[in-house]
Chains A and B, each alone.
Chain A
Amino acid sequence: MICHRIGSSLAAAALFVVLAVGAAAQTATPDPQDFSQIAHGRYVAVLGDCAACHTKPGGPPFAGGLAIETPFGNVVAANITPDRDTGIGRWSDEQFIRAVTQGRAPGGVRLYPAMPYPAYAKMTTRDLIALRAYLNTLTPVHNRVHSNQLPFPFDIRLGMVFWNALFYTPGTFKPDPHKSADWNRGAYLVEGPGHCGTCHTAKNFLGADEPSRYLRGFSVQGWFAPNITGSDHVGIGAWSVQDIVSYLKTGVNAHSIASGPMADEIEDSSSHMTTSDLRAIAVFLKDQPGGETPSGQAMATDDPVMRAGEAIYTDECSACHTAAGTGVTRLFPRLSGSALVQSAEPTSLIHVVLEGSRAVATDPAPTAPAMPPFGWKLSNRQVANVLTYIRNAWGNQASPVTAGDVSAARRSLASNAP
């Protein structure tokens, strides 16, 4: 991909379209002789983070994954190796593209949007064909996967016809000629193969994106995928483009360290992306509107909850995160000024305090420091107090966390335990 390196003028954006279309036309079929196409396909698999769902940890690559938790029940990612009986070896290229971009597998089987086909719909034919070319080179693995583990009525795949009619928008990504090549490349990556909104955009009661809350954060599987828009207070507006690139490439930057599901994403996907693609993603994200900054005031320091929280913080947290909440770069996340700490939903904060969490390890930042669990030690009230404190100390400002929030999270984490 050279297109996004060209300047940011309108002409360049137009050239981007021409190049993309031209490239697609040149490579209409997967060619096992075409090294470049296969290499490109491998990179597309990285962009799409296919392995995250389709490879079981420790299992053979792409031979089917772990159960993916959805609010409706579990869905297991398919075997996408070229095995003819249990994989996708018998599929034509058209069938492959239809499955990835429209959620329709051969035989009229409707996929569930746990497979993010509404995002993959935006992918170019060139990328999809290259991806197929790469998948064709994998070792076929005989592994029959029973994808549909949903309870009635969600197990009726035909229901997806109506879902698609309501929420699915067909059509590949259309660049915005008023934006730079970087911005357009970033938009393609974020909206298409990167499918960032799958976690970071709020869903309605049927599990479809709410466009008005695009990338403004959502709770998924006991974690809050934070607001990643350009908002200073609730998003990542305070991060420079380089900060975002560093975070996605290495898992750490001066503000934060990735853990939870984002640690997996970085390890499997974004740490392998090119720096120019990561920069493009950063440019696009920083241009996204983040919604209103919440008004209000931080809780008073002499509030009894704040005092109780401060005492717990001093005893249990300050040795690593420091008394001033500044953390240690590359080791302990900064709490003061952190958008995640001040996010409307404290889901991730409660999760991390109760169960602990290990940061991602990458070659440039291999430390993988971990937060130990405190759920065995602190009561619901104590967790609530210390979280309320960090959300309102050092200039931070966010709603208090209640013991009820912590109690609910405890129950939910226990029921989701493997």
Chain B
Amino acid sequence: MARKLPATDVVVIGLGWTGAILSHELLQEGLRVVAIERGPWRDTASSFPPGYAPDELRYAIRNGLLVQPAQTAMTFRNKPGQTALPIRAWSSFLPGNGVGGAGVHWNGQTWRFLPTDFVARTHLTKRYGAAFLPSDMTIQDWGVTYDELEPHFDRFEYLCGTSGTAGNLQGKIQEGGNPFEGPRSRPYPTPAQRQPYAATMFAEAAKELGYHPFPQPSGNLSQAYTNPLGVTLGACTYCGFCERFGCGNYSKASPQTTLLPVLVRDPNFEARTQCEVTRINVDRSGTRATGVTYVDTSGNEWEQPAAMVLLCAFQLFNVQLLLLSGIGKPYDVNTGEGVIGRNFSYQTTSTVEGFYDNRIFNPFIASGANGMIIDNYNGDNFDHGPYGFVGGGYIGMIQTNGRPIETTPVPPGTRRWGAAWKKAVADNYLSSIAFFCSGSEYSYRDNYLDLDPTYKDHLGRPLMRMTFDFHPNEVKMSAYLTDRAAEIMQKTNPRQMVKHPRTAPYSVVPYQTTHTCGGAIMGTDPKTSALNRYLQSWDVSNLFVMGSSAFPQNAGYNPTDTVAAIAYWSAKAIREQYLKHPGPLVQA
């Protein structure tokens, strides 16, 4: 039986990027905020100091910063009708844990989705006709537009000090930036990072082909920066230990380096770490959240009543908690009805490897968001008519790391072990690269999340079940993007080039990307979305759900900037509308 605690104004579930953003916004309104975090407290100097932050075995191989499957796992299958089995080691995607969440171990790639991404169905139907889209594709408009989100993208980028070169300032295309991006109200707060040789080589080849290469916008800063809250970040040293690692020298934007120093000074803020929320409680009417129940490490169960509940965990865990709490109608793949678990999606990544003679790339000079990019084939930046698919992605040479255990490039045909393999690694380590395609993944009727009928977690709760596979549209798109990347690489005269387009079936084994999305999507119709355009639950009006679980489908960009922008957008609606008149912000 849970022990009941004194009520608070706001409970935040999960203290990562969105939890920290929402906490800070609502503290500005004088509200008392209790953030409940499943993992430990994390702080730069005590949790990932430079003395051991770059420990590849600990963090990249043994997943030191991720949630351990013994604590939370899920089951997986490709198709409805198959039997799902538990994922016992994270590898295709890497769910974070602890204070800062995935914002601690991200690469820092800070992208805005395209204006047309937010109106995907309307835009694509208008341009190509409804029949152009596969009949089982369930893409939707978001219910919010790029123009509405622009100030919130800007807010997050200035919080982080994002380093980049603007491509579109208030409608005017800027030399050296991304000419395809939506208009920004002002330049990036800091200039782009410096580029290593491989990225420069990519950019030159891309330019020769008539493309418009530009530097990857980066949360690893080109120079020291003090954000509007007075918190200071340092300059990146290009050490190449970003994704899967915490940054030891305060140069990667994270909740730790931007918001938490301010939150911990606020007497109305409290963080309870290593406490796992097991349920969002609702009253008898089922329309009002009364708070949450959580379990501490001693197994004690606590009830924290609150006037508002903000669900700010990672995408997968947001959906899981909604399913376990019985909030919203679970998605039924047979009827297509229900919203929780609907439109689960991912991304379609691919690479082209190049092995060179007489080129030395020094792959260890790296940052998680250090590279040159072309955006000509992202979203609807090109005419899809001749190709028979929709969606796209950016293509780039991003030098994220040259870490020794993971960076063992060998040409096809090399023996997989022994002296010959070792020699091939030594011969190719400095002189091989991979161009990367970050492709979109649109949503489909048979890709979804629900509760597993068999497997349970350590608290006796059903695991969540993921049913997911790549569809022909994405496979076609990936082949097309990979070919374009290969054309660019061909210009650079590699000795050998190997294309790795993404193919079906999807496998949870090789790492692809952590950009899972959907399952509790935002929209304009409660029949097809879990949340309204302000991320407010259609069913429970004092519950708001942040994160990429709100994306109706995935674009060809890294999601953090857009996750943060919709969080600030939601916070504005809470502050300016909801708190004055608590209740549904949109009438269904």
Chain A residues at the B interface, C-beta cutoff of 8 Å: 316, 319-320, 328-332, 356, 358, 361, 363-374, 377
Contact = CB atoms under 8 A, between A and B. Distances in A.
B45 A366 contact: no
B45 A358 contact: yes
B43 A366 contact: no
A328 B224 contact: yes
A372 B50 contact: yes
B51 A377 contact: yes
Nearest to B235: A328
B230 A365 contact: yes
B314 interface: no
Interface string B237-267: 1010000000011100000000001100100
5 contacts: A316-B50, A328-B224, A331-B250, A356-B49, A370-B45
A132 B76 CA distance: 70
Q: Please report whether the interface of chain B is mostly helix, strand, loop or mixed according to DSSP.
A: loop
Given A328-B234, A331-B224, A319 B45 contact: no
Interface string B35-47: 0000000011110
B44 A320 contact: no
Contacts of B43: 370
A67 B50 CA distance: 34
Contacts of A371: 45
Interface of B: 43-46, 49-51, 224, 226, 229-235, 237, 239, 248-250, 261-262, 265
A350 to B, nearest CB: 17
B261 A329 contact: no
B50 A320 contact: yes
For B43, B231, B232, B235, the residue with the greatest tally of chain A CB atoms inside 10 Å of its CB is B232
A370 B50 contact: no
B45 A361 contact: no
A369 B232 contact: yes
Contact of A319 (B50, B231, B232): B50
B51 A374 contact: yes
A365 B232 CA distance: 8
A281 B237 CA distance: 39
Nearest to B258: A367
Contacts of A361: 261, 265
A129 B190 CA distance: 53
A356 B50 CA distance: 12
Contacts of B230: 363-367
B269 to A, nearest CB: 13
A319 B262 CA distance: 25
Main secondary structure, interface of A, reads loop
A369 B251 CA distance: 12
A364 B231 CA distance: 9
Contacts of A332: 234
Given A319-B249, A331-B224, A366-B261, A372 B232 contact: no
B51 A316 contact: yes
Contacts of B262: 366
A377 B49 CA distance: 12
Given A319-B239, A331-B234, A370 B46 contact: yes
Contacts of B229: 366
A372 B51 contact: yes
B239 A356 contact: no
A374 B248 CA distance: 14
Contacts of A330: 224, 226, 232
B457 to A, nearest CB: 34
Contacts of B46: 370, 372
A369 B237 CA distance: 17
A331 to B, nearest CB: 5
Contacts of B231: 366-367
Considering the complex of A and B, which 5 residue pairs feature the smallest CB-CB distances, nearest first?
A: A372-B49, A370-B45, A330-B232, A372-B45, A366-B261
A306 B249 CA distance: 25
A320 B250 CA distance: 8
Given A329-B224, A331-B250, A358-B45, A320 B234 contact: yes
Contact of A370 (B44, B234, B235, B237): B44
A369 B49 contact: no
A320 B44 CA distance: 12
Contacts of B233: 331
B431 to A, nearest CB: 26
A367 B43 CA distance: 12
Contacts of B237: 319
B51 A367 contact: no
Nearest to B236: A319
Contact of A369 (B51, B239, B250): B250
A413 B237 CA distance: 33
Nearest to B257: A367
Contacts of A367: 230-232, 250, 261
B231 to A, nearest CB: 5
A60 to B, nearest CB: 16
B271 to A, nearest CB: 15
A364 B235 CA distance: 21
A365 to B, nearest CB: 6
A268 to B, nearest CB: 14
Contacts of A369: 44-45, 232, 250
Contacts of A365: 230, 232
A329 B230 CA distance: 12
Nearest to B45: A370
A377 B45 CA distance: 15
Contact of A363 (B49, B235, B248, B265): B265
Nearest to A366: B261
Contacts of A331: 224, 232-234, 250
B328 to A, nearest CB: 38
B265 A319 contact: no
B224 A319 contact: no
A364 B232 CA distance: 11
A353 to B, nearest CB: 11
A114 to B, nearest CB: 30
A371 B46 CA distance: 9
A196 B232 CA distance: 29
Contacts of B234: 320, 328, 331-332
Given A367-B232, A370-B43, A372-B46, 6 more contacts: A328-B232, A331-B224, A356-B49, A366-B265, A372-B45, A372-B248
A367 B239 CA distance: 23
A160 B249 CA distance: 50
Contacts of B50: 316, 319-320, 372
Contacts of B49: 356, 372-373
A330 B224 CA distance: 9
A316 B379 CA distance: 44
Nearest to B43: A370
A33 B193 CA distance: 62
Contacts of A364: 230
B242 to A, nearest CB: 13
A372 B52 CA distance: 10
A358 to B, nearest CB: 7
B264 to A, nearest CB: 8
Contacts of B235: 328
A369 B235 CA distance: 14
A352 to B, nearest CB: 12
Contacts of A374: 51
Nearest to A364: B230
